[in-house]
Structure 1
Amino acid sequence: MRLFAIRDYRHLFGAQVIALFGTGLTTVALGLLAYDLAGPRAGMVLGTALTIKMVMYVVIAPLAAAYVDRFPRRTLLVLLDVVRGAVVLALPLVTEVWHIYVLIGLLQAASAAFTPTFQAVIPDIVTDESAYTRALSASQVASTMESLLSPVLAAVALTLISFNWLFLGTSAGFLVSALLVLSARVPDARPSTHARAWDKAAAGIRTFLGTPRLRGVMALNLVVASAGAIVVVNTVNHVRDELGGSQSDVALMLAASGTGTLLAALVLPRVLDRIAARTVMMTGAGVLVGGATAAVTLTAAGLATWTGTAVIWSLIGVGMALVITPTGKVLRASVGRNAIPEVFAAQFSLSHLAWLITYPVAGWLGTSAGFTLAWSVLAVLAGAGAVGALLLWPRRDGRSPVTGTVTGTATPAPHAPAKDRSTLAKAA
């Protein structure tokens, strides 16, 4: 079955792509807005705003996954897009830093509810097993392309307009996303096997804690967040204050990291056919630790240059792709089909919990004590996550006590649906 021949999926995928680019442009514009309001303290403001975002993701996402079967999903997705569009439209009007915090809280609460709801819709629309696997890959490619192209588009736009206009374009994008969702047939959720909302929210977390492979993924989330926080939070001050760059230069430096992510993502599908996901992801962890360490060396030695920064940012982008791109495959191969939404929602929350730890370090410590100390702490956290992943995810892990799925061998879970067995047999 051709994936994009499915009309409803095609419309929903279009909505996802537009919303992703809207989020990416908002991130670039938010950093510039923080610099406009706070100057040298922009890193602290941005770090606080992104910390609020992570709190919303960690708290709201599992609750949304738990309660999603109680509401019409299409109506909910449209409403969340409209809310995001309205909030982004209000951001250029803020005059105080606390205004940013309130609006970001509303924006990210809506985004945190949107993502698990969207992920839960896809298996109901794409019922063919091979097509569903391609749908997971398409979502990852869309995320990767957004990380590259959003900063580039922002850089081009900022040569012609001020960053405030980026918010207007993003708001329009969310409304277009809402229209695409409205044009698709979105089936309502089937009742979960878990009677209580908290049981549904906690089921995915329990699976992670009980599965060696997924415990390794949890540790790798910390590696990604530690190195990634350097790029996401500190680029604006590093480029504007230390390198003397412009608004467009900030976007281009972010694009350097996105370029590394894209190049790695283009190569990975063929690599993953020959090399186990664990090996690829551990390699990515090593690259990220190396990138964070190189960033510390750059700032500690006072050697910050455009070329050096761009190379390190690109290296971090490569490492993030090596860890993140195979994650969906690992999750998919670790549980039966019915448990996929819960496990993806758990990964959504757990990965953002890692960012909740690292964003304040990059923003608050970076502003108060300087980049050298903040990046040193982040490099140590990245190293700890990498070592933890090696210890928690053995090369041959055993059977999950929670799901009964085989988490490190080629034997399919006994309770897995028959059409899931070919996927489970390809476990990392």
Structure 2
Amino acid sequence: MFSILGNATFRHLFGAQVFSLMGSGLATVALALLAFDLAGDRAGTVLGTAFALKMVAYVGISPVVGAYAARFPRRGFLVGLDLCRAAMVCLLPFVDAIWQVYVLVFLFQSFSAAFTPTFQATIPDVLPDEEEYTRALSLSRLAYDLESVLSPVFAGLLLSVVSFHWLFAGTGVGFLISALLVVTAALPAAKKALDQQDTLRKRLGKGFRIYMKTPRLKGLLGMSFAVSAAGSIVLVNTVVLVQGQLGADQTILTLFMGVYGAGSMVVAFTIPRLLRTVHDRKVMLAGIPMLIVGLLLATEIDSVVTGLPVWFLLGVAGSVILTPSGRLLARSAHPEDRPAIYAAHFALSHAGWLITYPLAGWAGVTFGLQETMLIMAALVLVGGVAALWFWPREFGRELEHEHPAHHHGHMHVHDEHHDHKHEGWEGPEPHVHPHHHEAVRHVHDFVIDDHHPAWPTRL
């Protein structure tokens, strides 16, 4: 997995990701302390609203950015977003009202909603070989898991010598280093769509249209929802389980979260080798029964000893599903459409968290923790059944399909699909003019695009 760091461009981008994640981790701790400083016992309400705003930004902003991301120079766009995020967090120590926190958090998360899918869509262009890209996905998963463990530790060390306000400064430094590493990376130019005059409505809908017409991606959405149902139990209710039911202290709470991350890290190390011999679909679907079993076992936890293996299993199961997801996205769109499709996935998958986060909290208070785990297990099952329904089998990349004869006009260049005569008035390529396509039946790497608006029904 670490051999992929031999690629200088990816090494810079991975370093940028690490510093960005560390900055975000420090910001999470600092925000919790700021909320308590401003609101006291109402800090939970402030944080809950802030996290809800985060999900709203992720769901609402990322598709808009995905529609335009390919039109901007990648390096300048990513660096600008890092600088904007640094500016927002550096303003947080100076707020004196809760509404100001909400405004800055929403702006910060909006910039993150623009940065993350654009960054993710860049990696397949840097690493076009799928095996190398798989290693990069595993390394990225490992970085996320390590951040969840190390950021609170690092924050605790800083808080022993400075006030929590300085954590925001540390966050800003993380984003500045991220920007510097992106500046020094030799990023490939984004491939632009031929038609740069598409309407806003068409650009906004393109990523979602590709996503919802591709069976493997609809299956991915079902599995992503399953992960959010199980993950919300871990992120929202671990503290209730550990300190409320088991009567343990905060040290045990961090141990539970660390074991959950360790399960995910085990998958990050092993999955590149596994995916060489087992197809993504089989690997990812295996995570569904693991999540269900984990949640059912969680209802019987009566001690720390019985709880830690369950949290390890849930970490393994979630990572089994999430780690290969980038491979499905990369193979399901042309390079020029990747920003839109990554943004669509970012929005749709976080919509699941927008549902399950509050549901896990509300159900835990209303029905009890064990009943909530059963509810979430049922939602995992729903997500798994949806994945099987929409992605009943892997159809392969190269599909035989038929195009009827048709006459239309769109932006194009002359290639094997557009070999026709001109009369002289059509202008330089790429250009638009009515042209005819003969009926053809052929086989090639199939993705949804302007010439392939629907998945073949006869396979």
TM superposition score category, shorter chain reference = 0.7 to 0.9
CA distance in 2, matches of 1:376, 1:32: 33
- SS of equivalent residue, structure 1 residue 274: coil
Instruction: Determine what percentage of the aligned residue pairs are the same residue.
Output: 42
User: In the TM superposition, what are the counterparts of 1:377-392 in structure 2 within 5 Å?
Assistant: 377-392=375-390
TM-superposed deviation, 1:340: 3.1
1:254 aligned to 2:257? yes
- SS of equivalent residue, structure 2 residue 313: helix
**Which is worse superposed, 345-354 or 254-263?**
345-354
Supply the AA of the counterpart residue of 1:129: P
- SS of equivalent residue, structure 2 residue 275: helix
Instruction: Considering fraction of residues, name the structure with more helix.
Output: 1
Deviation track 1:360-390 (CA, whole Å, cap 9, x = no partner) reads 1123443555434443332221121112212
TM-superposed deviation, 1:341: 3.1
Q: 1:169 to 1:399 in 2, by over 3 A?
A: closer
Check the 8 A contact 2:239/2:253 in 1, yes or no. Answer: yes
Check the 8 A contact 2:90/2:168 in 1, yes or no. Answer: yes
CA distance in 1, matches of 2:97, 2:249: 23
Pairs aligned (count): 400
TM-superposed deviation, 1:213: 1.8
Check the 8 A contact 1:28/1:154 in 2, yes or no. Answer: yes
Q: 1:104 to 1:19 in 2, by over 3 A?
A: same
TM-superposed deviation, 1:356: 1.2
CA distance in 2, matches of 1:192, 1:399: 22
**Structure-1 residue corresponding to 2:132:** 134
What is the TM-score when the length of structure 2 is the normalising length? 0.75
CA distance in 2, matches of 1:320, 1:54: 19
Q: 1:146 to 1:313 in 2, by over 3 A?
A: same
Supply the AA of the counterpart residue of 2:315: G
User: In the TM superposition, what are the counterparts of 1:7-46 in structure 2 within 5 Å?
Assistant: 7-27=8-28, 30=31, 45-46=46-47
CA distance in 1, matches of 2:205, 2:175: 30
Bigger Cα Rg: 2
User: In the TM superposition, what are the counterparts of 1:33-72 in structure 2 within 5 Å?
Assistant: 45-72=46-73
Check the 8 A contact 1:48/1:359 in 2, yes or no. Answer: no
Instruction: Pick the aligned partner of 2:358 from 324, 340, 360.
Output: 360
Instruction: Pick the aligned partner of 1:152 from 150, 154, 160.
Output: 150
**Larger RCO (CA under 8 A, 6+ residues apart):** 1
TM-superposed deviation, 1:60: 0.9
**Structure-1 residue corresponding to 2:342:** 344
Deviation track 1:73-103 (CA, whole Å, cap 9, x = no partner) reads 3333222212222333444666665554333
Instruction: Considering fraction of residues, name the structure with more strand.
Output: 2
- SS of equivalent residue, structure 1 residue 334: coil
Deviation track 1:328-368 (CA, whole Å, cap 9, x = no partner) reads 22223334444333322222221111111111112344355
User: In the TM superposition, what are the counterparts of 1:15-414 in structure 2 within 5 Å?
Assistant: 15-27=16-28, 30=31, 45-91=46-92, 98-123=99-124, 126=126, 129-130=128-129, 134-135=132-133, 137-155=135-153, 157-158=155-156, 161=159, 164=164, 166-186=167-187, 189-193=190-194, 195-243=198-246, 249-298=252-301, 303=302, 305-367=303-365, 370-397=368-395, 412-413=444-445
What is the TM-score when the length of structure 1 is the normalising length? 0.80
Check the 8 A contact 1:203/1:342 in 2, yes or no. Answer: yes
Q: 1:203 to 1:160 in 2, by over 3 A?
A: closer
Unmatched segments (≥5 aa) in structure 1: 405-410, 417-428
